[in-house]
Amino acid sequence: TCDCHPGWGGLTCSDNINECEDTESDDYPPCKNGGVCDDTEGSFDCTCAAGYKGDTCTEDALKWAQDSYSAEVPEDTSSSEVLAVVQAVLPEGVTGTITYAVMGGPFSITPSGQVTTSGITLDYEGTKTYTASLQATFADHPVVLVPFTLTISNINDEEPLFYDTPDRRAHV
């Protein structure tokens, strides 16, 4: 008997195995996530559904443009000001709408990826750092998360002290 290379069978290993129809295989179907299989000699090719890529369509194509996002803003920044602009991307040739959401933190995000605060006043003396997860979804594909950190800088908004006595004691 012959020990055949993958994709080949028979007594002399000259019979092409149709991987696309091999229901006995542990890897059936070979193209995952709605990919279409095309049998070739000794192998197969997958045409992946939108949003997936890879030899067997197992890689989610939706990715964030960066591994993490962060911003630093002065305290008392208005709630309408854009804190950061974030972006998830699809592979070349894949089109569609990416939907964004924020998980945790006092933030909201626009359809175009602009992160803003959700109606709160940012106060350094109250909270110096906020963290959240940004979520991107595309069609019915898995959710992709990325961390977001917002650091509040102090603008020294304490009430000033005035010195007008010879011993330099403060009078407010």
Q: What is the pLDDT of residues 30-62, one digit of tens each?
A: 999 889 999 998 889 999 887 788 899 888 778
Q: What is the pLDDT of residue 39?
A: 92
Q: What is the pLDDT of residue 170?
A: 53
Q: What is the pLDDT of residues 62-82, one digit of tens each?
A: 889 999 999 999 988 877 789
Q: Which two tokens stand for residue 119?
A: 């109606």
CA 130, CA 145: separation in Å to the nearest integer?
A: 16
For residues 54, 102, 66 and 75, what is the CA-based torsion angle, rounded to 10 degrees?
Answer: 180
User: What average pLDDT score do residues 113-135 get?
Assistant: 89
Q: What is the pLDDT of residue 106?
A: 87
For the cut 70, the answer to whether the pLDDT of residue 134 exceeds it is yes
